[in-house]
């Protein structure tokens, strides 16, 4: 993250500036981001019993469009993709074996469509932009066929692939201000209204070659970012944007299944525990 800050400062020092505009009619943004990430599952007492934690790197793109520079509506499409170098710290499903291991593959994507009002003031040098929209978040974790150390000797544990998807409604506001001399500042708090989540685990619990799905219906999220940008010539700007994202999702519904143990049919279930996810980092990019 320090390297992103230093790179941004260097670009600002070696380039010229022009008059910035608080709200462009059409705007593209491309960014590279680095962030810390922690997902954790907790029991009814709020105690952590599993976590996935580490550093992520990714790319983001945003398009924003307005009809005119005057007071008007706007719409925006945002997409973010990232890959993680993460560590799983947990145990087997029965709790008998505890282990820590590197995730072989971790991929995250997010797509967002926003619609709102652009309300410029102060001779178009500032603007307030309330919005709402629709968001999709998808996450893939690979926790399958790992080796770990037990008593000084290597051993194996059979895990599974996991897919997580959320649908939600973003509710937020963007405050933009022209600081003169080519500088522009954005502040963007947001609340995310959770609609539904689906957790797909590649666990064949009934021997039918099927995956297990659990649905989540309660939860919430929030995020906030602050962007400082510097105009370069007439068409481009570079920006630095620290951000934080947080999700708090309740326990899922239960997936029931039957097993035969010692000639007796027993009914069991799987569910997704209450969990939280936190991301914090920064991205650097260009706007044009």
**Using CA atoms, how far apart are residues 174 and 188, in angstroms rounded to an integer?**
5
pLDDT-above-70 percentage for the chain: 75
Please give the residue that has the higher pLDDT: either 187 or 182.
187
Q: What is the pLDDT of residues 220-272, one digit of tens each?
A: 999 999 999 998 877 889 999 999 999 999 988 877 776 666 677 677 777 88
Please give the residue that has the higher pLDDT: either 46 or 11.
46
pLDDT (0 to 100) of residue 279: 95
State the pTM of this model.
Answer: 0.83
The band of 120, judged by pLDDT with boundaries at 50, 70 and 90, is confident
* CATH number corresponding to 2-287: 2.40.128.100
pLDDT (0 to 100) of residue 29: 95
pLDDT (0 to 100) of residue 118: 87
Q: Which of 82, 73, 80 is nearest to 114 (CA)?
A: 73
**Using CA atoms, how far apart are residues 53 and 41, in angstroms rounded to an integer?**
12
Q: Which of 163, 250, 252 is nearest to 211 (CA)?
A: 163
Residue 257 near residue 244 (C-beta atoms within 8 A):
no
**Using CA atoms, how far apart are residues 80 and 59, in angstroms rounded to an integer?**
6
Domain boundaries, the chain: 2-287
Both structure tokens of 21: 């505009």
Residue 234 near residue 1 (C-beta atoms within 8 A):
no
Q: What is the pLDDT of residues 16-73, one digit of tens each?
A: 433 334 556 788 999 999 999 999 988 777 777 888 899 999 999 999 998 765 668 8
């Amino acid at each position: 993250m320090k390297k992103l800050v230093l790179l941004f400062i260097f670009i600002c020092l070696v380039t010229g500036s022009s008059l910035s505009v608080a709200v462009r009619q059409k705007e593209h943004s491309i960014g590279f981001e680095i962030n810390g990430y922690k997902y954790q599952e907790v029991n009814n007492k709020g105690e952590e019993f599993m976590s996935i934690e580490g550093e992520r790197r990714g790319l983001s793109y945003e398009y924003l469009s307005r009809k005119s520079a005057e007071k008007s509506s706007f719409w925006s499409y945002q997409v973010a993709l990232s890959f993680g170098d993460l560590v799983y710290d947990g145990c087997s499903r029965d709790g008998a074996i505890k282990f820590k291991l590197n995730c072989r593959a971790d991929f995250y994507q997010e797509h967002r469509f926003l619609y709102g009002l652009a309300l410029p003031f102060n001779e178009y040098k500032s603007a307030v932009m309330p919005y709402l929209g629709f968001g999709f978040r998808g996450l893939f974790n690979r926790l399958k066929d790992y080796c770990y150390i037990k008593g000084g000797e290597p051993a194996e544990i059979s895990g599974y692939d996991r897919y997580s998807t959320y649908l939600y409604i973003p509710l937020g506001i963007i405050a933009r201000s022209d600081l003169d001399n080519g500088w522009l500042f954005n502040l963007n708090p947001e609340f995310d209204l959770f609609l539904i989540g689906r957790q797909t685990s590649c666990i064949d619990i009934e021997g039918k070659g099927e995956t297990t799905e659990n649905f989540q219906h309660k939860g919430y999220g929030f995020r906030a970012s602050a962007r400082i940008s510097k105009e370069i010539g007439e068409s481009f700007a570079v920006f630095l944007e620290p951000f934080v994202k947080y999700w708090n999702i309740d326990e899922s519904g239960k997936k029931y299944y039957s097993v035969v143990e010692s000639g007796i049919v027993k009914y069991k279930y799987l569910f997704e525990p209450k969990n939280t996810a936190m991301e914090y980092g920064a991205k650097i990019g260009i706007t044009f």
